[in-house]
A and B are shown apart, each in its own frame.
Chain A
Amino acid sequence: MKIKIEHGNYEENEILLRCREVDSEIMRIIAFLNLQTQKLSGWKSKEEITMLEFKDVYYAEALEDKTFLYTSKDVYQTALNLAEIEGRYESLGFLRISKSVVVNLYAIHSLKSALAGRIEIILKNQEKLIVSRHYAPLLRERIGL
């Protein structure tokens, strides 16, 4: 694969991918670019909206009718629901692990097999989450096990 960089008087930076077909290599590049450029909006109070880098969002949790984004230390509310986070950002590593939680696979420090087919997740901030028995096979499949 060739990598070409053109310098010029452009209004904004632009990345153009030319390919014969969208294969796994291109998909990985797109996911990587999304990871670098896209952000998730969240707020602690409505007056101040914070743009969060995807890599900083460890997991999203639905509580009652609200969705919260958890970073290493902070919690933000977001307008997106879990299905939207899971659907839109699956390619960035977000995966549903229970009815109420979507986790960022890149924020996981380690996994631990638990009884009854469940999996325990230890995040990079040492917080723990449980992958329910129903969703554990999806996690195994996603990481290629």
Chain B
Amino acid sequence: MKEFTHFYRWGLNMKQHMAIYTMALIFFRGVIEVLLGHDSISILMLVEMTLTSAVIAIIESALFPDHYDESELQRHTVLWVIMCNLLFIGAAVLFQWFADVPLWGKCLLIVILEGGLFAMWFGVHVAQKIETKALNQHLHDFQKQ
């Protein structure tokens, strides 16, 4: 039962990250479709984006498990940034998600990708840590009352 709940919790966290990545890819593809005067996205492309996001989220959960060694954070963050760039850009080139976008648009998308990765890192590894610290401080104060 414990193994199941552990796996369930891992799946829950992993799928949330996967959902964020999938929605971001679909959103930017959607914006491009609208700008090009289209009103649909290929189902195959949606599947490709979902599977790519799943692979990235799974690798990410391996790099940042529930309790990882804090001294490894810097090295794992670098690995995570490289992995995300390789897989997002690699998949976009391989599956031609943004082949019809002009060069300046591709450059803009890469800038947005880097900004998004920074926001993700900040949210998970900075903002959440600040809140975790505050939660534990207040919990221990409560328990001492």
Contacts and interface: CB of A to CB of B under 8 A. Distances in A.
Interface of A: 28, 105-106, 108, 110-116, 119, 127-128, 130, 140, 142-145
A114 B135 contact: no
B139 A113 contact: no
B145 A113 contact: no
B134 interface: yes
B138 interface: yes
A130 B9 contact: yes
Give chain B's interface secondary structure class: helix
Contacts of A112: 128, 132, 135
A115 B13 contact: yes
Interface in B105-145: 124, 127-129, 131-132, 134-136, 138-139, 141-143, 145
B17 interface: yes
A119 B9 CA distance: 12
A114 B13 contact: yes
Interface residues of B, number: 22
A143 B16 contact: no
Contacts of B134: 145
Interface of B: 2, 5, 9, 12-13, 16-17, 124, 127-129, 131-132, 134-136, 138-139, 141-143, 145
A142 B139 CA distance: 9
B134 to A, nearest CB: 6
Given A28-B145, A105-B143, A113-B128, A145 B135 contact: yes
B12 to A, nearest CB: 8
A114 B128 contact: yes
A129 B68 CA distance: 19
Given A130-B12, A143-B142, 13 more contacts: A105-B142, A108-B139, A108-B143, A110-B139, A111-B132, A112-B128, A113-B132, A114-B13, A115-B17, A130-B9, A142-B142, A143-B141, A145-B134
Contacts of B129: 113
